[in-house]
Amino acid sequence: MTTIVAVDIGGTHMRAASYSQDDIKPIKYQRIRTLASEPGGFERLIDVIEAVLPQGEPVAGIGIGSPGPLDPHTGYLLAPPNNPQFHNFPLGEKLSKHFGAQTFLDNDANLAGLAEYRYGAGKEHSNVLYLTISTGVGGGVILADKLLQGHHGLAAELGHIIVDPNGPLCPCGFAGHLEAYSSGPAIAKYVLGELESGTKSVLKRDVNLSAKEIAEAAGQGDELAIKAYQRAGEYLGIGVATMLHSFDPSIVIFGGGVSQVGSLLFDSFHVSLKKRVFHPRYLEDLVITTAQLGDDAGLLGARALAEMKLGL
């Protein structure tokens, strides 16, 4: 039996699972706190992996997902946010040495896209565009049945495509990125700016205002809240038009918390996309849908990466 181990290093939890090749369900599963600010992060990672190792079975490969930036070609974590222990950290090599197995690393958005392609909403498709919209905006792209990684492993950073060169600053420090319009914090920032300018709303000026509270206010008919999501959807349509012209996928899959608000975001997205796509053939038989795998996407993507790289 061929066993694959998958690892997902998240901001709050590290999770691991072992899989046999024929079953989507894990043989064993373990989850522990990441505790990024406490020393011993690598040792905790070893522990959570050891807890899922199959007894007496060799491991064919270990797939690992982590927030980027990272280098999938060398297995280095470069600067994962809020996890300074893993800055410039040769994670792939260290895990290979410890477990005597090949390791394969990529960022969480790429792997969620790969999981949806292999096991979820995209499994009938060869050209998949996955976008996660939550605290940030991330992308994962499969082209002709291959995960797009790029020369430095930094392809498909689709939250950082420029949708308006004179637009607001993205958390990354650069102007006019899609993430600066359509992420949860970007929606909240827009509302706070409008409140400051005197726009009336049931929402209060509170630096902790969340996209979820704004969605609730929109549900109660608050005009500013509705407009904030409409604007996010409009720019999302502009960004996705550029992505269709670049990648020409047969499916666009939306994941992440913000994408769960439904028509509040997607009505204006669809109008904007249709207005911006320059040739109707891009939209012929194009499927636009939401992710199917939820929290499992990271682990399943890490597993899929290892399987694909091993040719399984």
The residues of the shown chain that bind a copy of itself, judged by CB under 8 A, are 69, 78, 126-127, 143-144, 146, 148-158, 160-166, 170, 172-174, 177, 235, 238, 241-243, 245-250, 276, 278-279, 281-282, 284, 286
CB 10 within 8 A of CB 24: no
In the complex with a copy of itself, which residue's Cβ is closer, 204 or 279?
Answer: 279
Residues ≥6 apart with Cβ < 8 Å to 94: 42
In the complex with a copy of itself, which residue's Cβ is closer, 21 or 246?
Answer: 246
Least distance from a copy of itself to the Cβ atom of residue 272, Å: 9
Say which residue the tokens 């399943």 belong to.
300
In the complex with a copy of itself, which residue's Cβ is closer, 69 or 90?
Answer: 69
Least distance from a copy of itself to the Cβ atom of residue 140, Å: 12
**Gap between the Cα atoms of 247 and 98, Å rounded:** 39
Least distance from a copy of itself to the Cβ atom of residue 271, Å: 14
HSE at residue 97, side-chain half, CA atoms within 13 A, is: 6
In the complex with a copy of itself, which residue's Cβ is closer, 80 or 249?
Answer: 249
**Gap between the Cα atoms of 14 and 141, Å rounded:** 24
Least distance from a copy of itself to the Cβ atom of residue 106, Å: 13
Least distance from a copy of itself to the Cβ atom of residue 93, Å: 19
CA distances from 250 to 21, 97, 239, 261 (A): 27, 40, 16, 23
**Gap between the Cα atoms of 192 and 233, Å rounded:** 18
Return the amino acid letter for 203: L
In the complex with a copy of itself, which residue's Cβ is closer, 7 or 91?
Answer: 91
